[in-house]
Amino acid sequence: MPPPPPLRTIAARPLAAFVAACIGVALFSLMDAAMKHLALAMGAYSAMVWRNLIGAGLSGAVWLASRAPWPGRAIMRLHIWRGFIVSLMGWLFFWSITVLPLAEAIALTFIAPLLALYLAAILLGERVGRAAIFASVLGLVGVGVILWGRFGGGLPQHDARAIWGVAAAVASAMLFAYNLILARQQAQAADPAEIAFFQTLTVIFCLGLFAPRWLTPATPALWPILGLAALLAVASLFIMSWAYARAEAQILIPVEYSAFVWAALCGWIFFAETLHPPLLVGTALIITGCIIAARASARPQVGQVEELYV
């Protein structure tokens, strides 16, 4: 991992950051639904390439309009490193949702926030509060209830692609846990427009290495959905970068659980993936965990600093 870049100072706003993160996760979940449609139509790899090409144009225009200076060497290394992690993480996840229900794939990724809490303690020196731990555990219990509803009657027979889909989703979750920590470090060093542009540019470069073999053209009917997916991805990245610059990772990580709510709704609306009672119970537990985390973020904590060096 590259060394930490120089940091700037910005006031901490944990509650506002929590609300922003909720919005960012919702937008990103809608993007997941659009990407599932695209990945089924043209393959996960091609969908990622075309979406990121559009996203680079959108984020690049915003970054150029801001007249921001070219990032320094240390910050650029961080942009490139996170872009590489996101490239692999994203491809694994988007491939997994072509063979798994959207909500099930999201549920498998919920091991990431729990891992990230402790990565934040190790890599960022953050103190993991009891409320944050309880909120994360409650969210994981909710995921367990949902999976019990699917597999409680005995594990169904999976074909080879579904088994690989589960493995891909779990591997993506492990990378996502690390990505959450990188997001915090990146947000401490750069503006959202810069993060969105250079991360997207790095993803295009990484994926472009395989373009001669894997890339397929997009049909005219898919371009509007590609544009929507790119817009949702860029908007979410802007919002999440703003949030991670203003609150500790342990405050924002439980928000990631709310993605399951959106995945369940999108799966039901767009892909006829059914909702079962355990799914609703598990969702309620996840939301409860997020509420607990929000209340904890609104209370002064022992040793809390007034400024975050961003």
pLDDT digits (tens, 9 = 90+) for 166-175: 889 888 988 9
**Residues pairing with 9 in the sheet:** 309
Looking at the domain assignment, is residue 305 inside a domain?
A: yes
Looking at the domain assignment, is residue 4 inside a domain?
A: no
Q: Write down the pTM of the prediction.
A: 0.77
* 188-194 average pLDDT score: 81
pLDDT of residue 136: 78
* 240-265 average pLDDT score: 80
Residues in the chain: 310
* 296-309 average pLDDT score: 38
For residue 183, which of 283, 78, 109, 49 has the smallest C-alpha distance? 78
Looking at the domain assignment, is residue 1 inside a domain?
A: no
In angstroms, rounded to a whole number, what is the distance separating the alpha carbons of residues 44 and 63? 27
Q: What is the mean pLDDT of the chain?
A: 81
pLDDT at 160 over 80: no
Confidence of residue 37 (pLDDT cuts 50, 70, 90): very high
| List of residues 6+ apart from 249 with CB closer than 8 A | 116, 117, 120, 124, 126, 180, 181, 183, 184
Looking at the domain assignment, is residue 57 inside a domain?
A: yes
Looking at the domain assignment, is residue 298 inside a domain?
A: yes
In angstroms, rounded to a whole number, what is the distance separating the alpha carbons of residues 30 and 235? 11
Looking at the domain assignment, is residue 2 inside a domain?
A: no
Number of domains composing the chain: 1
Looking at the domain assignment, is residue 59 inside a domain?
A: yes
Q: Among 32-46, 78-92, 149-163, 194-208, whose mean pLDDT is lowest?
A: 149-163
| CB neighbour class for 60 (10 Å; exposed up to 12, middle 13-18, buried from 19) | middle
For residue 54, which of 232, 237, 199, 227 has the smallest C-alpha distance? 227
H-state helical runs in 120-214: 130-151, 160-187, 192-208, 211-214
Looking at the domain assignment, is residue 107 inside a domain?
A: yes
In angstroms, rounded to a whole number, what is the distance separating the alpha carbons of residues 39 and 94? 7
Query: 47-66 pLDDT, tens per residue?
Result: 999 999 998 999 899 899 98
| List of residues 6+ apart from 308 with CB closer than 8 A | 9, 10, 11, 12, 188, 245, 246, 247
pLDDT at 9 over 60: no
Q: How many CA atoms lie within 13 A of 81 on its CB side?
A: 19
pLDDT at 261 over 70: yes
Domain span at residue 222 reads 9-309
What would the two tokens of residue 186 be? 């990146």
pLDDT of residue 267: 92
